[in-house]
Amino acid sequence: MSVLVFVENHAGQFKKAAYEAASYAVQLAAQMQTTAAAVVLGTVAEDTVRSLGKYGIQKVVCVQDALLDGFEAHAAAKAVAEVAKGIGAGVVVLSNTYTGKALAPRLAVKLQAALAAGAVELPELNGQDLMVKRTVFSNKGFADLALKTAVKVISITPNSYKLVENEVAIEVENRNGVVSAADFKAKVVEVKKVTGKIPLTEAELVVSAGRGLKGPENWHMVENLANALGAATACSKPVSDMHWRPHDEHVGQTGITIKPNLYIAIGISGAIQHLAGVSGSKVIVAINTDKDAPFFKIADYGIVGDAFEVLPKLNEAITKFKAAN
Amino acid sequence: MKILVCISNVPDTTTKITFSPDNKSFNATGVQYIINPYDELALTKALELNEVAGGGTVTVVHVGLADAEPNLRKALAVGADDAVRIDAAPTDGFQVASEIATYAKDKQFDLILCGRESIDYNGGVVPGMLAEMLDLPEVNVITSITINGGLSQVERDIDGGREALEVSLPFVASCQKEITEPRIPNMRGIMMARSKPLQVLPAQGGALHTEVSEYALPAAKAGCRFLEVSEVEKLVELLHSEAKVI
């Protein structure tokens, strides 16, 4: 029973989350004393496909049907399930991105497989079962989930698993004619990519602000700091509810859950719902005028001070640091 | 349109999460339960779509025990026409999707709306599994939806942007924030909800695919190191050399 990883591409490119899934699959295969293969859908240049060898993928099946260039869950699930059955995969791994979230449930039903969505660590083997650690209660807790079926599907939370380099020779098999137009149940009319901005779900560094900024007209200070750092911008729920910032910047229990390497919270008190969405961050810096703000309880570094005083100074210090490094 | 909305019953967003002493179960003592916030958006959107269409019905379905009934009554008060509770403790996304699929398969719903995930187990797997079981299209994390005849225009979040799609009815969609604002029940709605049908159906049962063996709370933080406003350069240095994140 080998391990198959679905490596998602965006316009022919693999993002970090895709390599994380590949690396995770290779480590899991090693634990299970088997091999890991990858499946890639649509048009991807061969050099890009071969880059998976750097993380230990020995075989890639490229389903090259041009119809698969735009992601559609129904057709993608058919193609991945066919490859999985063909190689006798015991575990299918994918990223818990929006693409993975659409694909994994369908795939699990097709393969009659148990699904662990949002794994944060490598599983433990327990007889025929896999024990997978995932977050529950919107990051307020963890659960060890036993996957009890013969075939299993695991989607992994981006930025929770460290890439392991392990260069191997890679074999590429190209296939065609796996899907037909009838498999595509939804038609993509338009794709609006966010440009000139780091997508929050992919960001390793995030600068976030709350009501302490007093109004949308002051957000240039947050954006300047984010630009200096190369970070994405985020905000608290009240800020998006008041339409100071777009909804897609709202992090928290009912917004986006993120786990960047660095989260800088400016003028956010730290309500339990907000903390749930960001507590997975590796390092948290809180800046708040109130020394009793709940954010300081989960922060690694804190400055008690006014955002309007601290932000320009911090921006200056970061700019100086970036120039020197 | 005949719309089905799937509802989860979840701990209130302000809940401080604790587990039993043996870490085998969630400690529900004193916890206030609410309709999952994303499901509340799905319900409101279903009502709005029928208001635009000039008619139709909205059924809410829940897999769970009797303690969820106050929240099903709330869904009726918000405006759903009838509620169905499938009588089983929900423990696994596959189980919940299977029960709903069995209920929905011969009912000819035009549209099935869900929240994008429940805020307790966060799997987000029920909408996609349900669609696969019913052999329907599914669009996840939608931020807008309009319907013209048998065709629907939806927008969904994608990694790094947004996508506009066209999909034919019937289909399943999972709702993201931004699709609408939740509707609060008014006094008339609360009065009317008392006489609306709330049907309890037996569960089909079946083997579970997954089982939680143990829960854990996140590790406590070591504590916050406070710096003065004048020490921002030191903060940057610490982020670089100590925390190694920049």
- What ipTM does the predicted assembly reach? 0.95
Name which of B224, B230, B241 to mutate to probe chain A: the one with the most chain A Cβ atoms within 10 A of its Cβ: B224
Distances (CA, A) of A230 to A198, A210, A262, A319: 8, 20, 11, 11
User: Which residues from B are below 8 Å from A74, CB to CB?
Assistant: 137-138
Q: Which of A109, A192, A314 sits opposite B129 (nearest CB)?
A: A109
3-state SS string over B87-116? ECCCCCHHHHHHHHHHHHCCCCCCEEEEEC
Kindly report the nearest CA distance between residue B119 and chain A, in angstroms: 6
Kindly report the nearest CA distance between residue A169 and chain B, in angstroms: 30
Residues A284-294 have pLDDT tens digits of 999 999 999 99
Is the CB of residue B206 less than 8 Å from the CB of residue B144?
Answer: no
Mean pLDDT in residue range A93-111: 97
**Of the CATH numbers 3.20.20.140, 3.40.50.1220, 3.40.630.10, 3.30.70.1380, which one belongs to the domain with range A200-324?**
3.40.50.1220
**B241's tokens:** 């050399």
Specify the DSSP class assigned to residue B202: E
Q: What angle do CA A259, A263, A269 make, to 5 degrees?
A: 110
Given its phi and psi angles, is residue B56 left (phi above 0), alpha (psi -120 to 50 degrees) or beta? left
Q: What is the distance in angstroms between the CA of the first residue and the CA of the last residue of chain A?
A: 47
Beta bridge partners of A29: none
Cα–Cα nearest to A233, from A210, A249, A216, A253 = A249
| pLDDT tier, B221 (very low <50, low <70, confident <90, very high otherwise) | confident
Residue ranges of domains in chain A: 2-183, 200-324
Q: How many C-beta neighbours within 10 Å does residue B18 have?
A: 16
Residues B145-179 have pLDDT tens digits of 999 999 999 999 998 889 999 999 999 999 999 99
Mean pLDDT over all residues of chain B?
96
Q: Which of residues 107 through 146 in chain B touch A, CB cutoff 8 A?
A: 119-129, 131-133, 136-141, 143
Is B150 in the A-facing interface, judged by CB distances under 8 Å? no
Q: Which residue of A has its CA nearest to B15?
A: A272
Q: Classify residue B112 as exposed, middle or buried by CB count within 10 Å of its CB (0-12, 13-18, 19+).
A: buried
Report the alpha-carbon distance of residue A135 to residue A117 in Å, rounded.
Answer: 9
8 Å CB contact of B229 and A283: no
User: Which residues from A are below 8 Å from B124, CB to CB?
Assistant: 101, 105, 117
CA-CA-CA-CA dihedral for B166, B45, A242, A136, to nearest 10? -90
Residue B31: its pLDDT value, please? 97
8 Å CB contact of B122 and A137: yes
Mean pLDDT in residue range B198-208: 95
| pLDDT tier, A202 (very low <50, low <70, confident <90, very high otherwise) | confident
Alpha helices in chain B (DSSP H): 37-53, 69-78, 93-104, 126-134, 187-193, 232-241
Q: Which of A199, A283, A300 sits opposite B160 (nearest CB)?
A: A199
Residue A37: its pLDDT value, please? 98
Residue A198 has pLDDT above 90, yes or no: no
DSSP β-ladder status, A124-126 and A129-136? antiparallel
3-state secondary structure of A89: strand
| pLDDT tier, B193 (very low <50, low <70, confident <90, very high otherwise) | very high
Is B34 in the A-facing interface, judged by CB distances under 8 Å? no
**A56's tokens:** 């230990």
Residues B31-90 have pLDDT tens digits of 999 999 999 999 999 999 999 999 999 999 999 999 999 999 999 999 999 999 999 999
Mean pLDDT in residue range A23-49: 97
8 Å CB contact of A115 and B138: no
Q: How many C-beta neighbours within 10 Å does residue B147 have?
A: 17
At residue B111, what are phi and psi to the nearest 5 degrees? -155, 140
Residue A32 has pLDDT above 90, yes or no: yes
Residue A195 has pLDDT above 80, yes or no: no
Residue type, B182: P
Percentage of chain B with pLDDT > 70?
100
Is the CB of residue A91 less than 8 Å from the CB of residue A27?
Answer: no
Report the alpha-carbon distance of residue A101 to residue A214 in Å, rounded.
Answer: 36
Is B185 in the A-facing interface, judged by CB distances under 8 Å? no
Report the alpha-carbon distance of residue B9 to residue B37 in Å, rounded.
Answer: 10
8 Å CB contact of B233 and A189: no
8 Å CB contact of A262 and B243: yes
Q: What angle do CA B106, B112, B117 make, to 5 degrees?
A: 130
Beta bridge partners of A62: A40, A174
Mean pLDDT in residue range B124-143: 97
What is A2-183's CATH number?
Answer: 3.40.50.620
Residue A325 has pLDDT above 90, yes or no: no
Compare A192 and A38 and report the one with higher pLDDT: A38
Residue A199: its pLDDT value, please? 84
**B208's tokens:** 């579970």
User: Which residues from A are below 8 Å from B94, CB to CB?
Assistant: 108-109, 114-115
Kindly report the nearest CA distance between residue A178 and chain B, in angstroms: 19
Mean pLDDT over all residues of chain A?
95
Q: Which residue of A has its CA nearest to B25?
A: A143
| pLDDT tier, B219 (very low <50, low <70, confident <90, very high otherwise) | confident
Q: Do domains A2-183 and A200-324 have the same CATH topology?
A: yes
Residue B160: its pLDDT value, please? 83
Residue A183 has pLDDT above 80, yes or no: yes
User: Which residues from B are below 8 Å from A117, CB to CB?
Assistant: 93, 122-125
Report the alpha-carbon distance of residue A267 to residue A254 in Å, rounded.
Answer: 20
CA B147 to chain centre: 22
Kindly report the nearest CA distance between residue A97 and chain B, in angstroms: 7
Beta bridge partners of B171: B111
Residues A229-280 have pLDDT tens digits of 999 999 999 999 999 999 889 999 888 999 999 999 999 999 999 999 999 9
Percentage of chain B with pLDDT > 90?
95
Residue A196 has pLDDT above 80, yes or no: no
8 Å CB contact of B177 and A250: yes
Residue B16: its pLDDT value, please? 93
User: Which residues from B are below 8 Å from A131, CB to CB?
Assistant: 213
Q: Which residue of A has its CA nearest to B226?
A: A302
At residue B108, what are phi and psi to the nearest 5 degrees? 50, 50
Q: Which of B93, B162, B245 sits opposite A261 (nearest CB)?
A: B245
CATH 3.40.50.620 for the B2-215 domain, yes or no: yes
Q: Which of residues 194 through 233 in chain B touch A, CB cutoff 8 A?
A: 207-218, 221-222, 224-229, 231-233
DSSP A206-219: EEEE-GGG-SGGGH
8 Å CB contact of A117 and B139: no
